[in-house]
């Protein structure tokens, strides 16, 4: 995944059960969640849909370098 807006800090958040869209382009004003900004970005970006089945606290990647999207894997530490 590539990003125009690399933010080295993961977004720690409690998510309720439901469907979510993770931003892959880095342009979203609601990062780490998609707001449709990828439609304006150069390149081919699509949001990554993921489902949460139970309430849990997660760290969502904002640097877009994770090998386990949408979750942070510590890749931001190499920036």
pLDDT tens digits, one per residue of 17-68? 999 999 998 889 998 999 999 888 777 889 999 999 999 999 999 988 999 9
Q: In the chain, where are the structural domains located?
A: 11-72
**Is residue 39 classed as helix, strand or coil in its secondary structure?**
helix
Question: What CA–CA distance (Å, rounded) separates 50 from 69?
Answer: 9
How far out from the chain centre does Cα 16 lie?
16
**pTM flag (> 0.85):** no
- Give dist(CA 28, CA 5) in Å, integer: 9
72 or 44, which is more confident = 72
Question: What confidence tier does 10 reach under pLDDT thresholds 50, 70, 90?
Answer: very high
């Amino acid at each position: 995944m590539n990003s125009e807006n690399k933010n080295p800090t993961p977004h720690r958040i409690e998510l309720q059960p439901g469907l979510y869209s993770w931003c892959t382009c880095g342009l979203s004003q609601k990062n780490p969640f998609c707001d449709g900004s990828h439609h304006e970005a150069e390149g081919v970006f699509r949001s990554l849909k993921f489902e949460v089945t139970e309430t849990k606290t997660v760290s969502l990647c904002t640097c877009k370098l994770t090998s386990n999207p949408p979750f942070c894997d510590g890749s931001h530490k190499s920036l």
